[in-house]
């Protein structure tokens, strides 16, 4: 390993911290979604949701870039060469998630209160899919850390 390069341990720890921050955004969105329904009097909750979605999207763009270009996925592949298909699947999901969030933000910005229920259901499905994606990444990290630990011993 090159001296001065971040270790896999530090990269993975940073990634897990970022995942915690992202879950904060997800929890905010979940809370806002609970308040959406067909009986809303105005569009304020929808505008708040649009702003929260935008915040999550911006955070995810940075996070995905870090995972894909700052060494995490490359380090995982070095430790777990058989994980190429899984890493490629996760990278592909990154782009899909950003696209979904952009569409959801536009929908939230331009929807009437009567459309809130449909958006709420769609966003809850997205959050479930997203949380599964994060669990898959965390599991891959765990496997790579385990492998790294065995190779050091």
The residues spanned by each domain of the chain are: 9-152
Tell me what pLDDT residue 5 has. 47
Look up the pTM and report it.
Answer: 0.86
- List alpha helices for 70-83, DSSP H: 72-79
Q: Looking at residues 79-105, what average pLDDT do you find?
A: 95
Contacts of 30 by beta carbon, 8 Å cutoff, 6+ apart: 124, 127
Q: Which CATH class is domain 9-152?
A: mainly alpha
Q: Is the pLDDT of residue 3 over 50?
A: no
Which residue did the predictor score with more confidence, 56 or 35? 56
User: Using CA atoms, how far apart are residues 107 and 128, in angstroms rounded to an integer?
Assistant: 19
């Amino acid at each position: 390993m090159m001296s001065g390069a971040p270790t896999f341990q530090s990269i993975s720890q940073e990634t897990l911290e970022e995942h915690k921050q992202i879950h904060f955004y997800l929890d905010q969105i979940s809370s806002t979604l609970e308040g959406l329904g067909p009986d809303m009097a105005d569009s304020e909750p929808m505008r708040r949701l649009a702003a929260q979605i935008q915040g999550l999207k911006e955070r995810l763009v940075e996070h995905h870039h870090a995972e894909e270009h700052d060494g995490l996925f490359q380090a995982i592949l070095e430790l777990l060469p058989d994980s190429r298909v899984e890493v490629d699947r996760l990278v592909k999901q990154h782009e899909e998630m950003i696209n979904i969030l952009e569409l959801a933000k536009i929908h939230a910005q331009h929807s009437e209160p009567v459309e809130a229920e449909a958006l709420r259901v769609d966003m809850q499905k997205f959050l479930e899919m997203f949380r599964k994606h994060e669990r898959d990444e965390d599991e891959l990290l765990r496997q790579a850390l385990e492998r790294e630990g065995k190779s050091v011993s």
